[in-house]
Amino acid sequence: MKLARRRLIVIVVALSSVLAAQIAMLTLSYAAGTLTVVAMSGLAMISTLGVIVLCWHALYDSDPDRDNAISPLISWLDQSDIVGQHAARRPPALSGVDSRLADAVENLVHRVQRYRDKLLVRHQRVQRLLRNVTDVLYHTDQDGRITWVTDTVTDMLGYRPDELEGRLLRDLLADADDERTLLDSAQLHRHPTRVYRRNGEIAWLLISSRRIDDTAGRAIGSEGVCRDGTRLIETQQALNEHKERAQVTLASIGDAVITTDASGAVDYLNPRAEQMLAVRMDAALGRHFDKICNFIDTERNVAVNGLVHKCLASGTMQEHDEDLTLYDRAPEQTGHTVKVTIAPIRDSAQAITGTVIVLHDITRLQQISRELAYQANHDLITDLPNRRAFEQLLDQALTQVDDRHSHALCYIDLDQFKLVNDTCGHNAGDEMLRQIAARLSTCIRSDDTLARLGGDEFGLIMRDMSIMDAQVKAEELRTEIDRFRFRWDEKLFRLGASVGVASIDREAIDANELLRRADTACYLAKEKGRNQVYVYHGDSDETLTRHGDMQRMQQISEALDSDSFELFAQFIQPIDRRENPGYGVELLLRVRDTDGSVLSPQNFLITAERYNIAPRIDRWVLRRAIELITQAGEDHAAIEHYSINISGQSITDEQFVDYARGLIEAASVDPHRLVFEITETAAVTNTRRAGELIHSLRALGCRFSLDDFGSGLSSFSYLKNLPSDFIKIDGKLVSNILTDPVERSIVEAINQVGQAMGLLTVAEHVETRAMLDALRTIGVDYAQGYHVARPIPFEMLSSALGTRERVVRAR
């Protein structure tokens, strides 16, 4: 009985070993790799050995009847396949103990098959996942050699799996240092890695890898998941570059840039903002903008608050055209005058997340504007009011005339002033003018106004003074000048003065008429022998003046009717031909005398404007200019633009724009080559009409030049309303840049402001090489004057142009 029990135990143990080996083989059949094959071979040997032991023990020490009884069991077990879909059919001969044993075995086989079915379902699910995932999975051994990789590697890198299995991981890495990071990381680690594609290109992969250890903690390999991050990383790199560029830009610009969150709290200041607000960014972060930045309306002298709140509330950009004075710690003024722009910042859903504030510092511009305004209204040598300011004061005095108030005007012209300049130079002449101005200022009342009108001419407004008293006062001033002695370099000069006196009465139309009367009286004083006073009387002087005007009017009418006006051309040369390769040409009006000599049209133009026929001359010039330019064709290809002068009366002539538009549209001339020149005085006097004229003709493609700039402009604000393309610096300023540092500074300031506004600058009256070199140093774009070229008839322009081109090429 004991022997039978031991046999039964041995049989059960052997059978269990066989079944366990079969289950392990089934599980490993769903894995892959070399280790799996070795393990399955070992288990197969164990299974076979178990069957042999089972059979041997069953046959050993048994009786023949027992052998015959157990043979069906052994045959059935031998035919059973737990891995297959169907088990062998149980033989009917099994009964008794063998039957119970067969029941147990059969039950165990069914349980293993059910476990196999579950493993098969799980295996199929994993395979579907691997087919649908675009990421690449891989295994390596302890040496970093790839032992397994998914098929998705073909789409990602171009390799077939069998091409990579057995290769070292380092062979695929563009940076060899990445190998240890991927193989030695004990925890799952995501590492951007550059990997070679099969075609040699480099791809960025985001590899999540970790080391695989055995039960003893020894590394036996690694496993990882690769995701293509080329586009993501390249996009991130591009964003980083843009961010760096934006930060460098914000750090470099001259404007203060501040950003806030949706509550108005500051979250960024660029370096310029730190400087202007006198606060570091770490100290400003989180503070409300209004707490660190205080504004005062410069014009109204009132505090301006809540700018950020207005922007957040309205959701629109806020621009403040008025000048605001910036305070960092009220009431201590920082000295910054700014223009403020505030715009909302929105997220992808268009919700406001904050604001960006730009403070444009116009302190220096305002300072230059004030300086130019003062210089435009004051003489730079004597510091007296200049002609423009004097004319404005004269207009005011004219409006104050009534039955109880009368004023007088004196026009003082120094005699022998040219002798001082010619003998001792302009510095001596300037010093003499300063001393004369100071001497005359001590001789007049505080309510009177003394001004330098230009050259050696002075004007004086004597308020509440009759013409007789004015004549007496003028004689006192003439006597004072006559007594004056000017000493320079051991030379002593005595001067005289011719003084014209005119009454400021209701008969005068405007300041120009008053000045004309006083100038006429002064001219007659000179005619009568100089160094005397002459009072204007309408009977004599008016007749003489009208007689001269009528004579000139007749000549103008004849020239217009007979087409005897001529156009001359004077080159406007680019100072640096690398920057401005093309020439400019100014078209100048000339008229011939009866003997055929060429006369300057200056006197004719004054008479024409006085009698309102200047627009007729402007139309003749424009029509003739377009005809000549059209005829020249390609011969004048090197000429970049033609400058055509327009009088102040044409600016106010509403029909002139239509006339010019008709000529330009009918001709084949490129409108961009036509530059209309308007004088600064005419533009300022008729700002609205000048603006309309400029906008209308610029719409056709024409350009504009502001002529004689610096002679009387009070503020650069006119340039905003009168958009120009060129600024022609007044020749009187240019003439003195070598001798007068103040006038040179004015020329430099005009050039800097003009170029800052995108305008090209032209210097007039360039008479010497030294002046041209000085203008080149200043940075002026173009030069015009006798040193560059003298005016020539338009018909000679082609040959002169060819000569200039040959000279330039020879240089």
Q: Is 8 helix (H, G, I), strand (E, B) or coil?
A: helix
Distances (CA, A) of 382 to 90, 197, 431, 438, 732: 134, 82, 9, 8, 16
Place of tokens 């300023």: 733
By residue count, the chain amounts to 811
Q: Decide: 272 and 287 in contact? Cβ < 8 Å.
A: no
Identify the helix (H) or strand (E) that includes residue 342.
strand 332-346
What are residue 313's phi and psi, to 5 degrees?
-75, -40
Q: Decide: 82 and 109 in contact? Cβ < 8 Å.
A: yes
Describe the strand order of the beta sheet including 533-535 as a list of residue ranges: 449-454, 457-462, 407-415, 496-504, 533-535
Reference 254, options 367, 360, 334, 335; nearest CA is 360
Q: Is 680 helix (H, G, I), strand (E, B) or coil?
A: helix
* Amino acid identity for residue 546 in this structure: R
Q: How far is CA 176 from the centre of its chain?
A: 44
Distances (CA, A) of 513 to 36, 59, 507: 117, 150, 9
Helix axes 387-399, 511-527, angle to 10 degrees: 110
Identify the helix (H) or strand (E) that includes residue 323.
strand 318-329
DSSP structure string for 200-222: S-EEEEEEEEEEEE-TTS-EEEE
Q: What is the DSSP letter of 88?
A: P
The residue from 448, 456, 541, 740 that is catalytic is: 456
Return the ∠ at Cα 447 (arms to 446 and 449), rounded to 5°.
Answer: 95
In our burial notation (b when 16+ CB lie closer than 10 A, e otherwise), range 231-252 reads eebeeeeeeeeeeeeeeeebee
DSSP structure string for 257-305: EEEEETTSBEEEE-HHHHHHHT--HHHHTTSBHHHH-EEEETTTTEEE-
Strand 485-488 to 491-494 pairing: antiparallel
Reference 737, options 705, 777, 706; nearest CA is 777
Reference 690, options 750, 650, 661; nearest CA is 650
Where helices occur in 445-595 by DSSP H, the ranges are 467-483, 511-527, 538-562
Strand 332-346 to 318-329 pairing: antiparallel
Sign of CA dihedral 443, 445, 446, 449: negative
Q: Decide: 87 and 106 in contact? Cβ < 8 Å.
A: yes
Sign of CA dihedral 644, 649, 654, 655: negative
Contacts 24+ apart (CB under 8 A), 427-436: 427/739, 428/488, 428/489, 430/381, 430/740, 431/486, 431/488, 432/486, 432/488, 432/493, 432/495, 433/381, 433/382, 434/381, 434/382, 435/484, 435/486, 436/382, 436/481, 436/484, 436/495
Cis peptide bond N-terminal to 791, omega within 30: no
Q: What is the DSSP letter of 339?
A: E
Q: Decide: 386 and 371 in contact? Cβ < 8 Å.
A: no
Establish whether 135 is a catalytic residue: no
Strand 294-297 to 302-304 pairing: antiparallel
Q: Decide: 657 and 696 in contact? Cβ < 8 Å.
A: yes
Q: How far is CA 161 from the centre of its chain?
A: 54
Question: Mind telling me the catalytic residues?
Answer: 456
